[in-house]
Structure 1
Amino acid sequence: MLHSMYVKNLALIEEIEVEFGKGLNILTGETGAGKSIILESVSLALGGRYTKDILREGTPFGLVELTFFLENEELKKQLEKLDVFSEENTLVLSRRLMDGRSISKINGETVSMSLLKEVSSLLIDVFGQHEHQSLLQKKNHQQLVDLYAGEKLLAVKEEVREAYKSYMSLEKEKKEEESKTRNIAKELDFLRFETNEITEARLKENEDKELEEIYTRMNHGRTIKESVQRAYSFTGGYEGGADGAIARGIKALAEGLRYDDKLEEYHKQLLEIDSLLSDFNRDISEYEASLDFEDAQVQEIEARLNLVNRLKGKYGESVEAIHRYLKEKEEEIEKLENYEAYLIELDQKIEKAYAHLRDKASKLSKLRKESGKGLGEKIAEEIKDLNFEATKFFIDIKEKESITEEGMDDVEFMIALNEGNSLKPLVNVASGGELSRIMLAIKTVMAKKEKVETLIFDEIDVGISGRTAQKVSEKMAIISQENQVIAITHLPQIAAMSDVHFLIEKKTSGGDTTTRIRKIDENEKIAEIGRILGGVKITDTVKENAKEMMNLAKETKEEMRV
């Protein structure tokens, strides 16, 4: 659950810290006191959209920090899958907001926005002031059904997307082929010219590099030849070379060897050196001879190198790239030469891909209908507790004319608000207050399903009053028995049901205005509910009404616990 919140330098907030409790936490305050910024701060910490104008004027940064106590072992396992680990069952989400940028951290470690949002979705569910309006968009009906189904459906949904992608890729290929206004014969002639040009060149692997090396040697042949000749003159090509000196050394050691056997090893070494030098002189002499290039050889190498470079300029930056280009064009030729067969084969592929897509979409549809039936029944049960006694609720899932990446289903929430009314689309008949209550019912069902510990409601009571308000307060009390609920309200029935009550106030001092939040005791709660009931002037009668409302709320909660 959400244990505490710390906010600094946001809008009218200079610095506040609040500790929430278990059960139903209610936040109230006069219009303009800053109730919205409290929940906006929570949303920011959870990865909500940030604009720099929310920073308190004259401050360099803002900070929001949420501390969660984790008791659910399953939740800890889900977080660990994301490589997020609690410290002594505590998880701290913080977001530092600066001019145009922000830094998010979990337990002091900087994290990406995507990870922050993923972690947040496991910890808390925020219901904003206008979120019930999302029920007016049919696409959200399907999303709720899919979320209720869970991982199994989402896995199949991903399979449908992959199948749809493959199918549409083939359809695009066919459309491109059919729309081409080309002369196949002319294109074949051009492709054959290119492939013949490459094939006739008979390019060898790495031939371009080898030719460049030979050409460089030819181009600098005189310099190379002179260096080889000098080396040969020093080692044995001329009188006074190293070979003559070594021969004399061998002869000298041979004379001494007659009187000292220890010279045998030195004599052998010098003989080996003489042999190696003889091999070297022979090889370098042959290499010198190879440096005498005929004009015809030079011209032949130049011509071959020019051919290779011309082909590289047209078809690829290397011989390897040219061979790849050749293979691609040969495949195109084969396709064009068998164009009719290619189109038939493409149609067969499309037919097979569509059958695969439909199979996956049917599987998804079956799971969706099972989920829709279960979710619809659960929502119907919940809304009966919200002064919808005669209301019927049903999730209608029909097959669409075409299959998309979302499948083949048209999902729509249907409702009959009064006895005798037929089911009609929710988007056509529900008012703002009715939508709020239906969304509350949905949140109740989803919270049980997803096991999110903390629910936040920002003015869920919009558009309701009287008996309906009492029913909503009772529903929130029921939810708070299993979940921590934090709610902003302007209705006394809901405020009276609180387990913990916070008052949000706006204070002005020295020309500076700030928003504050504080936990209030029983007497202050009576006064606050009285203010909500009676407005500016709180009479004794108003206070008595507030006390009676609180006593009735206590009795109702006690009955719920039985």
Structure 2
Amino acid sequence: MLTSLYIKNYALIDELNVAFNNGLTIITGETGAGKSILLGGLSLVLGKRADLSQVKNATEKCIIEAHFDIANYDLKPLFNTLDLDYEVQTIIRREILPSGKSRAFINDTPVTLDNLVALSGFLIDIHSQQQTQQLTQDDYQFKVIDALADNKSYLKEFSKGLVGYKTLQKSLEELKASKAELIKEYDYNLFLSNELNEINLEKINLEDLEAQYEELNNVEIISEKLSSAKSILSTEDLGVVDQLNLAKQDLTKIANFGASYETLKERLVSVGIELDDILIELDNLEENLSSDPQELERISSKLQIVNNLFQKHAVTEIDDLIAIHNDLKSKINNTESLDDAIVLKEQDLLKQNEKLNQIALKIHNKRKKVIPVFVSKLEAILSELGMPNAKFKVELETTEAFAKNGKDDLQFLFMANKGSSFNALKKSASGGELSRIMLAIKSILAEYVQLPSIMFDEIDTGVSGEISNKMGEIMKRMSSKMQVFTITHLPQIAAKGDSHFKVYKTDSDNVTHTQLKKLKEDERIVEIAQMLGGLTITDSAMEHAKQLLH
């Protein structure tokens, strides 16, 4: 509940600090006295955007601060979500600086307007003619029926499930899109993969292959040169081996004459051994050397294929081709495995669909069950409010598609008079009728859920007499379960209040100021008497005012 309101430097208000009690609070005042200013200041606390033109003195800061007792509102989870410190006595403050900048605070923590709106909607509800029009909107009609049906937990479960369902839908669409894209490339990727697969890349050693090619392609030259080398080394008398042996014999004869001679002899012996090995190797190479045109063709063809693949894939190493081949195989496997992934995703989506349908059915059944109760209560209250022939019908139909709150279409139908037909509420009810219907609905809601404090802004416009008395009684009943404010011009309603405030203007130094005063018992009598008979208060008006109050 709203426990106090402080306003400084706003519109015609210099400074105002007022405390409120529970129950029914009446606010009265002459037209133009500034009741709308009071509502405007309170609206800033609820998240309305600030305007520097609303500041009384543009050189000073404007402050609007409201204190709320939120012990009965179960708002700890919301405070946690908004990352705010929870306080039973919560303070909301708005400031408009001379620069035009606006700031908002909840329990002295700076907050955004979005966060302010998220919280304030649970604290106070300013009911104006604009809000009455909400009654004709689908969202509000669902909120009414679901509040009476106690669908809160099911709606929360459905909303969470719907998020998961849409996530699955999006994932499935992405999988199908990926498959469609990969299918376009599948045949080409498969061709490239097969082409690389045929060459057996893992078993290719490019250096060995090139060496084999060079050997087979130059057999005659190699044979000739091997033979020539052997001849140079081993020709009798003139060959290198024989000449080396002669040199070795000479050095052997002088080896005993000094260490250096001995060393040279040993080195020639080593060279001789190496030459003998070289001759053996030359014999082996010459013996194993053979011409093989078919093998040459095979190797040449393989090298050509490898070089072509290098050029096609713009690489220069076998390892690069292997990496490309692995990537192609992965794409092919992904394409082939997407069908399985799509089937699994479709199965998950079907399960989620069934789960949502079950929750939606529970929501529907609870709505269906409560609608006759709602209609009966509503028609009874409307009869009290001077609409005895008003008839209400709530049409509830199941749809195929999921909406944000189930699978229902809901429509409020209204018939004001006998002999007429049911039509949509927004087409068949006048403004005055909508106000009374809204009051009736709010009073019904108060029986089922903990509503925030509510402020009725002249909801009694266009009614008088006994109807206004009934409206006052309804608001009085509501105030037993919640805090109710009503701005009124009707004495029958004003007399029902537990407390009564008067908005009025004063002039000082050619400046107009708006004031708010809590009326004492005798002041209430005078105020109600003026509401009954005007500024000239008669004895009968005073007596009537006392009767209304008591």
For 1:161, what is the secondary structure of its paired residue? helix
For 1:508, what is the secondary structure of its paired residue? strand
Residue in 2 that maps onto 1:495: 494
For 2:31, what is the secondary structure of its paired residue? coil
Deviations 1:141-195 (A, max 9, x none): 11332344253122233144225414642674488579x7x79455541587599
- Check if 1:408 corresponds to 2:404: no
- Check if 1:545 corresponds to 2:541: yes
- For 1:158, the aligned partner's letter is S
The answer as to whether partners of 2:530 and 2:536 remain within 8 angstroms in 1 is no
> 1: distance between equivalents of 2:323 and 2:147?
51
Gap change, CA 1:192 and 1:405, over 3 Å in 2:
farther
- For 1:480, the aligned partner's letter is S
> CA shift at 1:431, angstroms?
1.0
> CA shift at 1:391, angstroms?
2.9
Residue in 1 that maps onto 2:485: 486
> CA shift at 1:409, angstroms?
0.4
Matches within 5 A, 1:346-357: 354-357=353-356
- For 1:400, the aligned partner's letter is T
> 1: distance between equivalents of 2:194 and 2:463?
78
Deviations 1:453-501 (A, max 9, x none): 6321111112323332221112112222333221111222212322322
The more displaced of 343-352 and 410-419 is: 343-352
> 2: distance between equivalents of 1:324 and 1:502?
83
The answer as to whether partners of 2:390 and 2:416 remain within 8 angstroms in 1 is yes
The answer as to whether partners of 2:446 and 2:481 remain within 8 angstroms in 1 is no
- Check if 1:44 corresponds to 2:38: no
> CA shift at 1:100, angstroms?
4.8
Residue in 2 that maps onto 1:363: 362
Q: Give the alignment's TM-score, normalised by structure 1.
A: 0.65
For 1:507, what is the secondary structure of its paired residue? strand
> 2: distance between equivalents of 1:497 and 1:474?
7
Residue in 2 that maps onto 1:271: none
For 1:50, what is the secondary structure of its paired residue? coil
Gap change, CA 1:192 and 1:49, over 3 Å in 2:
farther
> CA shift at 1:57, angstroms?
4.2
> 1: distance between equivalents of 2:475 and 2:432?
16
> CA shift at 1:80, angstroms?
7.5
The answer as to whether partners of 2:45 and 2:65 remain within 8 angstroms in 1 is yes
Question: Unaligned 5+ residue runs, structure 1?
Answer: 203-306, 313-318, 555-562
Residue in 2 that maps onto 1:517: 516
> CA shift at 1:135, angstroms?
1.2
> 2: distance between equivalents of 1:11 and 1:192?
79
The answer as to whether partners of 1:68 and 1:91 remain within 8 angstroms in 2 is yes
Gap change, CA 1:14 and 1:445, over 3 Å in 2:
same
> 2: distance between equivalents of 1:108 and 1:143?
32
For 1:59, what is the secondary structure of its paired residue? coil
> CA shift at 1:15, angstroms?
1.1
For 2:129, what is the secondary structure of its paired residue? coil
> 1: distance between equivalents of 2:182 and 2:117?
55
> 2: distance between equivalents of 1:195 and 1:147?
65
Aligned Cα root-mean-square deviation (Å): 4.2
Matches within 5 A, 1:310-389: 332-334=331-333, 336=335, 354-389=353-388
Question: Unaligned 5+ residue runs, structure 2?
Answer: 203-309
Residue in 2 that maps onto 1:91: 90
Residue in 2 that maps onto 1:28: 28
> CA shift at 1:408, angstroms?
1.4
For 1:481, what is the secondary structure of its paired residue? coil
Residue in 2 that maps onto 1:391: 390
Gap change, CA 1:106 and 1:162, over 3 Å in 2:
closer
Residue in 2 that maps onto 1:143: 143
Q: Give the alignment's TM-score, normalised by structure 2.
A: 0.66
Deviations 1:506-541 (A, max 9, x none): 233334222211122344434433443445xx3344
> CA shift at 1:548, angstroms?
0.9
For 2:486, what is the secondary structure of its paired residue? strand
The more displaced of 333-342 and 445-454 is: 333-342
> 2: distance between equivalents of 1:350 and 1:107?
44
The more displaced of 332-341 and 478-487 is: 332-341
Gap change, CA 1:416 and 1:174, over 3 Å in 2:
farther
Residue in 1 that maps onto 2:475: 476
Residue in 2 that maps onto 1:17: 17
- For 1:128, the aligned partner's letter is S
Residue in 2 that maps onto 1:262: none
The answer as to whether partners of 1:45 and 1:94 remain within 8 angstroms in 2 is yes
> CA shift at 1:75, angstroms?
4.6
> 1: distance between equivalents of 2:175 and 2:142?
32
Gap change, CA 1:346 and 1:330, over 3 Å in 2:
farther
Residue in 2 that maps onto 1:165: 166
> 2: distance between equivalents of 1:402 and 1:495?
49
Matches within 5 A, 1:105-144: 105-144=105-144
Matched length: 431
- For 1:539, the aligned partner's letter is T
Matches within 5 A, 1:77-88: 84-86=85-87
> CA shift at 1:338, angstroms?
7.4
> CA shift at 1:7, angstroms?
0.3
> CA shift at 1:38, angstroms?
0.6
Who wins on radius of gyration, i.e. which is larger?
A: 2
For 1:415, what is the secondary structure of its paired residue? strand
- For 2:39, the aligned partner's letter is L
The answer as to whether partners of 1:4 and 1:19 remain within 8 angstroms in 2 is yes
> CA shift at 1:56, angstroms?
2.4
> 1: distance between equivalents of 2:159 and 2:35?
40
The answer as to whether partners of 2:158 and 2:356 remain within 8 angstroms in 1 is no
Matches within 5 A, 1:48-447: 48-69=48-69, 72=72, 75=74, 84-86=85-87, 90-98=89-97, 99-148=99-148, 149-166=150-167, 168-169=169-170, 172-173=173-174, 184=183, 186=185, 188-189=187-188, 193=192, 332-334=331-333, 336=335, 354-419=353-418, 423-447=422-446
> 1: distance between equivalents of 2:162 and 2:543?
58
